Amino acid sequence: MTADVLLDVQELQVQFRTERGMVRAVDGLSYSVARGEAVAVVGESGSGKSVGARSLLGLLPKTASITGGQAIFDGNDLVGMPERAMRAIRGRRIGMVFQNAMEAMSPTITLERQLTEHLIWHGVCSKAEARERAIRALGEVGIPEPERRIRMYPFQLSGGMRQRAMIAMATAIEPDLLIADEPTTAVDVTVQRQILELLKAQKERGTGIIMITHDLGVARFFCDTAVVMYAGQVVERGPMAEFIECPAHPYARGLLGSTIDVGDRHRKLSVIPGSPVDVANRPSGCPFRTRCALADADRCTHAQSLESVSPGRVAACWRSHDHV
Amino acid sequence: MNLAVFAVRRVARLVLSLIAVSIIAFGLLQLAPGSFADISNLAAEESSTVTAEMQQRYGDEVPVWQQYLGFMKGALTWDMGPSYKYTGQNVEDIIATSFPVSATLAVVAVIIALCIAIPVGVFSALRQNTPWDYGSMFAVTIWHSLPPYLVGTFLMLLLSGTWHVLPSRGWSGPENMIMPVIALALGPAAVMTRYVRSSVLETLREEYVTAAFAKGGARRLVIRRYVLRNSLIPLVTVAGPVLANLMTGTVFIEWIFGIPGLGQYFTDAAASRDMPLLMGTTLFFAVILMVTNLVVDLLYGFLDPRIRATAGAR
């Protein structure tokens, strides 16, 4: 894995300017993605998982800024990269798949234009060839009659087809890295499976994937690495198989316990008490201590750093060794 | 299942609405106090001439519903009879000569309003919360709160009175149009500038704009292809009614600048209970408003593929 690292994110910090002052939405996010590796960034809404990924491409609103850390992609730091250089990477080397294709595609532009325009912007190929590639990409994601459908507008496709067309939009150009921001959240379960298979196929082609999701069931489908975020911080990071086997951080255990597993109907679903902490009012020390069953008044009020719990695996909890 | 079916349905609805409008208007005019003869203090012989003409046309002491049918027959055959006040002129001729004047003013005013609203609105939206944005929105608020007759009078004092560069009144050439059109365009320009600004701001927050940037789109291109297209289509629904409103006559401006438009005749007719002219202009206004709305809907359908595709199905 270390041999062919595509992206190495180190201690990334993102702040938002709000009426209540600066808010640290992402506070020390580190992970790396190799070619053909899929990394799942998992957490509840507001955990900073999406903000962390979007900040890599400079796609955050004006009120947000990266205040620290680095993100080395192919030898260059994406943090602070000039707009021109960044634009050459966006959509070309790093593609992005969004949660809802209905919202992520313009309603007044045909699929053909939306699927081919960036191939032309990036000078990848001619207009005619771009059309061929887009039709091929649509066929690959399982859209029947792609020659006919490419002339349509997004609203003329079914929800599942639209979502697959959006994946084709990101992959027709064959990027090195794909950021998938909750790509299965807005679709029904049968489509969810198709989308995951498509992303898995991309991974097998050697594309690195950052999969942002709140659903561990989705994350474990094909991801190699789990990065669990809570309140803008990484609480646990490690290989997916070991993580699913025995999560080390109490929050990660709660998250896994509340994941529906269709195969096992005897297992009881558990619930994490309380609601996600507001990053603007993050408690001192461990951010999860206000909801944690194991919280200890002495130990947990101190900041918890990521400690190794087993080879390749870290967790930010002083009790994590108890469980591994 | 196509645009033609949609258009036919809309035209059918338009005809029904017109019948309703005509009945309501006719009924209300019957209830209005006073008559033409009372109000205008006509000399006896003049009054009798008109009355005689009326009697000849509709018959003496005909029931109200027959009067209505008689008028509607005239309206449909474009023969609405003579005006009471403008003796010797037929209602349809008055409309035919004065409407083009009002319509020209209105169309030019709306074009100018759009030429102000689109650039200024887009400009302030793209520079939201900067001095540029605050400055242009402040200017918009100022010119929005200036009534057209005030602007018209001011322009006339300045350009005709002090500098003598433009004729103050009349309708003989394009130079007569400049001041009234400016006075008329300012209000709609302000309304539409605000509309464009908020529409662009809303579109900028759409995920598809982020997605276009994520594909590596240059700012200019993304703005043009993704933001402007989607935020300006709805402007048609604002510009249409504004145009219809101005086309049906702008009383103050026509009066100040001595322009022989429809607005003057309409108010005159209402004030003097000139029944044929009042009914004629009222119906004509209704037709103009409805046709404009129809055109807006068709145009919107043409511009927005979502509506184009579902128009026949509705």
Q: Is B213 an interface residue toward A (CB < 8 Å)?
A: yes
Inter-chain CB proximity B305 and A108 less than 8 Å: yes
Mean pLDDT of chain A: 89
Partner residue facing B309 (CB), from A87, A105, A156: A156
Percent of chain A past pLDDT 90, that is, above it, reads: 60
Do the Cβ atoms of A94 and A175 come closer than 8 Å? yes
pTM, entire model? 0.84
pLDDT at A312: 85
Alpha helices in chain B (DSSP H): 3-31, 36-40, 44-58, 64-76, 91-126, 131-144, 148-155, 178-204, 207-214, 219-222, 229-232, 235-247, 251-256, 262-272, 275-303, 305-310
ipTM of this predicted complex?
Answer: 0.91
The pLDDT value recorded for residue B56 is 65
Contacts 24+ apart (CB under 8 A), B11-17: B11/B294, B14/B290, B14/B291, B14/B294, B17/B286, B17/B290
Residue B63 backbone phi and psi in degrees, to 5: -60, 155
Q: Does A108 touch chain B (CB under 8 A)?
A: yes
pLDDT for the residue B38: 65
pLDDT at B312: 46
| pLDDT of residue A308 exceeding 70 | yes
Q: What is the pLDDT, as a whole number, of residue B40?
A: 63
Instruction: Specify the 3-state DSSP secondary structure of A70.
Output: strand
pLDDT of residue A2: 52
Cβ pair B216:A108 closer than 8 A: no
pLDDT of residue A217: 87
Q: How far is B11 from chain A (nearest CA, A)?
A: 27
Q: pLDDT 10s per residue in chain B (314 long)? A: 466 787 788 888 888 999 999 999 888 888 877 777 666 665 556 666 766 666 666 555 677 788 888 888 888 888 888 887 887 888 889 999 999 999 999 999 999 999 999 999 999 999 998 999 999 999 999 988 888 889 999 999 999 888 988 888 888 888 888 999 999 999 999 999 999 999 999 999 999 999 999 999 999 999 999 999 999 998 998 999 899 888 876 888 888 898 888 888 888 888 888 888 888 888 898 999 888 888 888 888 788 888 776 654 44
Predicted pLDDT at A171: 92
Alpha carbon A189 to chain centroid, angstroms? 19
A216 vs A293, more confident: A216
Using the predicted structure, report yes or no on whether residue A231 has a pLDDT greater than 80. Answer: yes
- Per residue in A127-181, pLDDT (tens digit) is 999 999 999 999 999 999 999 999 999 999 998 899 999 999 999 999 999 999 9
3 state DSSP class of B151:
helix
Question: For position B55, what pLDDT does the model report?
Answer: 62
Q: Which of A63, A106, A179 to probe by mutation at the B interface, max B CB count within 10 Å?
A: A106
- Give the C-alpha separation, B106 to B98, whole Å: 13
Query: How many degrees, rounded to 5, is the angle at CA A307 between CA A305 and CA A313?
Result: 130
DSSP A204-254: HTT-EEEEEES-HHHHHHH-SEEEEEETTEEEEEEEHHHHHH---SHHHHH
β-strand pairing of A233-239 with A38-42: unpaired
3-state SS track over B220-231? HHHHHHHHHHHH
> In this complex, is the C-beta atom of A117 within 8 Å of any C-beta atom belonging to chain B?
yes
Q: Cα separation of A173 and A170, whole Å?
A: 7
Question: Looking at residue B188, what is its pLDDT?
Answer: 93
Mean pLDDT value of segment A248-266? 78
Q: Does residue A191 surpass a pLDDT of 90?
A: no
Residue A154: closest C-alpha in chain B: B306
Q: What is the pLDDT of residue B314?
A: 40
CB contact under 8 A, B216 and A59: no
- Tokens 């520079």 sit on residue: B127
How many CB pairs lie under 8 A apart between chains A and B? 77
